[in-house]
Amino acid sequence: MATSPKTLLPEGADDVGALDKAEHPEHYKRDGRLKAVAYEAEMERLQEQLVLLQYWIQSHGLKVLVIFEGRGSAGKGGVIKRITERTSPRTVRVVALPKPTERQRTQWYFQRYVEHLPAAGEMVLFDRSWYNRSNVEWVMDYCSEEEHQEFLRSAPEFERMLVRSGITVIKYWFSVSYDEQRRRFEARNAEPLKRWKLSDMDLAEHELYVRYSMAKDTTFQYTDIKQAPWLVVPSDDKRAARLNCINHLLSQFDYVDVAPDVVELPVMRAMPYVRPPMHEQTFVPQLF
């Protein structure tokens, strides 16, 4: 069975639980952030548990949808990368859709997301989702007020339909403060190899930080439903946020170890075959 995870903290609380800091002060820096050595050890354990969860989802034919939302640089991509680092992409799939095409703009708003929903034995991670409509699109005036209001009416019903159909819907909101977001953007700007991650959209969202807060609050007001509640992950400390989120995700399933047994590798079967000469093949230069 999975070990008992830490509970997610309410927005505005410390980045990790006060009890944990008191019991293990050696795991934290002076600024209260988790040290790398403690983070890596716990992440290794959690990733092993994610593999066991993967087998459980496969063997029981579960359909799991995990939605990751939040501001730019809040840490959504980082936690998704850690979740998928050791799991199979055939079972744990990531969906990060680009801007809709002209044809998709004329479809029912949820239509292009439906084809990516999980089938039996799959966990699908949405790196942003249909909540683009009530957050990014509304903040940037990419949708009309009528479209925004219709989304707020429709999204709860859509998600209730998903739950009734047997899909487990889990929604995480990664919450980053203005000062921390600015620090991360400045770090990207100073590093040429990371500057591609600082988009015009990021800059616009940073300028409209307060409006994005309004969008988030309105989204929660309408879509924080009993069947699929919002779960806030304070993410000023990226390491703690990843551990807290993955711990919580694991806690949503009463899984046990159903990993396959060790198999016996077969011996190569002898066959009457002579391969062409090796020198007839073109090899990559051996620089190392």
Identify the pLDDT of residue 13. 36
pLDDT in tens, the chain (288 residues): 443 333 343 333 333 344 466 677 677 877 889 999 999 999 999 999 999 999 999 999 999 999 999 999 999 999 999 999 999 999 999 999 999 999 999 999 999 999 999 999 999 999 999 999 999 999 999 999 999 999 999 999 999 999 999 999 999 999 999 999 999 999 999 999 999 999 999 999 999 999 999 999 999 999 999 999 999 999 999 999 999 999 999 999 999 999 999 999 999 999 999 999 999 999 999 999
Cβ burial of 147 (10 Å; 0-12, 13-18, 19+) is: middle
- Whether 55 is in a domain gets the answer yes
Would you state the pLDDT for residue 257?
A: 97
Q: Identify whether 285 is part of a domain.
A: no
Q: What is the pLDDT of residue 16?
A: 38
217 belongs to a structural domain: yes
- Please name the residue ranges forming H helices in 192-237: 200-207, 209-223
Q: What is the predicted pLDDT for the residue at 21?
A: 66
Residue 9 lies in a domain: no
Does some domain include residue 7? Answer: no
pTM of the predicted structure, to 2 decimals: 0.89
Domain residue limits at 42: 18-257
Burial 52-81 (b: 16+ CB within 10 A, else e): bbbbbbbeeebbbbbbbbbbbbbbbbbbbe
Q: What confidence score (pLDDT) does residue 26 get?
A: 76
Q: 171 CB contacts (<8 Å, ≥6 apart)?
A: 66, 67, 69, 228, 229, 230, 231
Supply the CATH number for residue 185's domain: 3.40.50.300
Answer whether residue 227 is part of any domain.
yes
pLDDT at site 32: 82
Task: Decide if 288 is inside a domain.
Answer: no
Q: 272 lies in a domain?
A: no
Q: What is the pLDDT of residue 4?
A: 37
What is the count of structural domains for the chain?
A: 1
Q: Which two tokens stand for residue 277?
A: 């000469």
The beta strand positions in 203-274, using DSSP E, are 230-234
CA separation for the pair 213, 232 (Å, rounded): 13
Q: Kindly give, in sequence order, each residue whose CB lies less than 8 Å from that of residue 106, ignoring residues fewer than 6 positions away.
A: none
